[in-house]
Amino acid sequence: MKTTKTIFVLGLAVISLSVFVNGCMTTKEASEATGSQLWSENCGRCHYAPPISTYSSDQWEVLCMHMKSRTMIPDRDVQKIVEFLKSGQ
Amino acid sequence: MKTLNTFVTTGLLLMGAAAFAQDSIRSSTSGDLKGVITGDVFFGFKFVNNKGIPNRPNVSTFTTVGYNPVVLYKLSDKFFFEGEVEFQTSEWQEGGSTSGNAVGEGLAVELEYANLNYVINKYMLVKFGIFFTPYGVFEDWYHQRITNRMTSRPPGIGHGGIEPGADEGVQVNGGFPLGGGAKLHYAVALLNGGKLVTDDPGNNNGSLEYESIIDNNVNKAVVGRIGILPVPWLEFGGWYGSSKVGKDVIQNNIGAIHSGIYFSIIKSIDPIKGTVCFRSQYSKLAVDNAVFRQTDSTTYTFKNNNSKAYYAQLSYRPTMLKNKFVRRCEIAARYGSITLPDPAQGKWIMPGTTSAASNKTQWAVSLDYWLKWNAVIKFSYEQNHPKKGALPRATWIIQAAMGL
């Protein structure tokens, strides 16, 4: 019973956050962060950022999907980062 | 019935949350398989000064050579697979023994993670398999040799700690942009969870085993974690998890609660011409009172089965200096502590270790030299202070690591 309650509480928390976040979605300031800036900020949180030439466009696509899965970077930011990395090839 | 409830609730949670998403991710157009093989390699040398400690000679040894290949496959825009196998020589432990699931001459092999991800929408993906759990963030993000500025894990955190590193189950996670550049991320997981040890009187009874492939009951551990980045350089969050970990000798269903918080900062600061990184985590585990059998077959009640561990780490790298050699150097310091229940002192063998656990504090310093963004040589010094008057133990470690 305790576990079921915990699931409900956590579920409600996620749904509530979804509603909250949808209510205050992207501001102009946030949406203006460049792919280069986001790449530096997000990579640097755990490790130093690799040079763009380290990987091919296809490899960057795969690696960014991996990082999105592991570190939960928002999709909007991931798309910008991938575009930046591909443009630098 | 509980299992049914779990399935129904999980299904509703997934469906409900998906319905809230306003946009959907791009659908796969090509379906082409794209893959990357990456990972890391490392090796080290360790010297332990046991001066003054009875029956503990000083030790120096080359130790823990590891090759950890990671394979990543993007099957489509919605499907993704990630897996890592760890090949390592057994890690030297205090007392001269070694740890690891040896399959050859000192070789330990472990399936670190292997999970299939499905992107539900921009704000949510679901993963199945073995993955790093939401119990804390150190094991998930900072334990790899090129993300960890030190040569070791903090006491009690990650593998060998009071919470699982990886586990098998299903997880929903994602991230949201908030207003003004702030971000929020979340993870909710159903896992096999820990197992209460009940058949090792005088030693491990009362401890939890983790990362077991087969669960010991129908109950699943539920854990959720939330992290918030009000600005890109600052992050904090917390997690809470509940599970049933097995039955004691009078068939009481024993529960365990994991909880904790974390806080981190990484920022380049012009006046000090460098980048400062601060990481910290506080983890707590509370296990219900349980009745165990002693070696003489009488029973006793294990009360206050509570454990906690924490660490704080600060590092600095002069990334803005012109001198190339100095720019590649980084200094780091860490303080950590683990506190276990009194009956566990000198008896429990923590997961992934072979020597008896005890309360301890530890401080460590490290000088790292970065050859590249993904290659580093670390020179570190650690001092472990067992509580209750035991002599401290000093360890020097050199470690070289490279990401692939």
Task: Quote the pLDDT of residue B49.
Answer: 84
Q: Does A83 touch chain B (CB under 8 A)?
A: no
Domain count across chain B: 1
Q: What's the pLDDT band for B201 if we cut at 50, 70, 90?
A: confident
Pairwise CB contact (< 8 Å): B177 & A74: yes
The beta-carbon neighbor of B123 closest among A2, A44, A75 is A75
Q: In the 8-state DSSP scheme, what is residue B32? A: -
* Alpha-carbon gap: B27 to the closest alpha carbon of chain A (Å): 14
CA angle B84, B71, B24 (to 5 degrees): 105
Task: Quote the pLDDT of residue B144.
Answer: 92
Task: Quote the pLDDT of residue A55.
Answer: 93
Share of chain B above pLDDT 90, in %: 63
- Kindly tell me if the per-residue pLDDT of B96 is higher than 90: no
Q: What is the mean pLDDT of residues B114-128?
A: 96
| Domain A33-87, classified CATH 1.10.760, yes or no | yes
pTM, 2 dp: 0.85
CA-to-CA distance for A20 and B182, rounded, in angstroms?
13
Domain that holds residue B170: 2-403
Instruction: Provide the residue ranges of all domains of chain A, joining segments of one domain with +.
Output: 1-25, 33-87
Task: Quote the pLDDT of residue B215.
Answer: 82
ipTM value: 0.85
Q: In the 8-state DSSP scheme, what is residue B271? A: G
Name the least confident of B75-89, B114-128, B222-236, B348-362.
B348-362
Name the least confident of B14-18, B127-131, B332-336.
B14-18
What residues contact residue B374 under an 8 Å CB cut-off, 6+ apart?
A: A47, A48, A50, B146, B402, B403, B404
Among B27, B76, B222, B258, the strongest candidate for a mutation testing the A interface, having the largest count of A CBs within 10 A, is B222
Q: What is the mean pLDDT of residues B101-125?
A: 85
Q: What is the pLDDT of residues B220-246, one digit of tens each?
A: 999 999 999 999 999 999 999 999 999
Q: What's the pLDDT band for B16 if we cut at 50, 70, 90?
A: very low
Q: What is the pLDDT of residues B377-402, one digit of tens each?
A: 999 999 988 876 677 788 999 999 99
What's the CATH number where B324 sits?
Answer: 2.40.160.10
One DSSP character per residue, A63-78 reads HHHHHHHHH---HHHH
Task: Quote the pLDDT of residue B385.
Answer: 87
CA-to-CA distance for A89 and A57, rounded, in angstroms?
7
The beta-carbon neighbor of A66 closest among B72, B122, B224 is B72
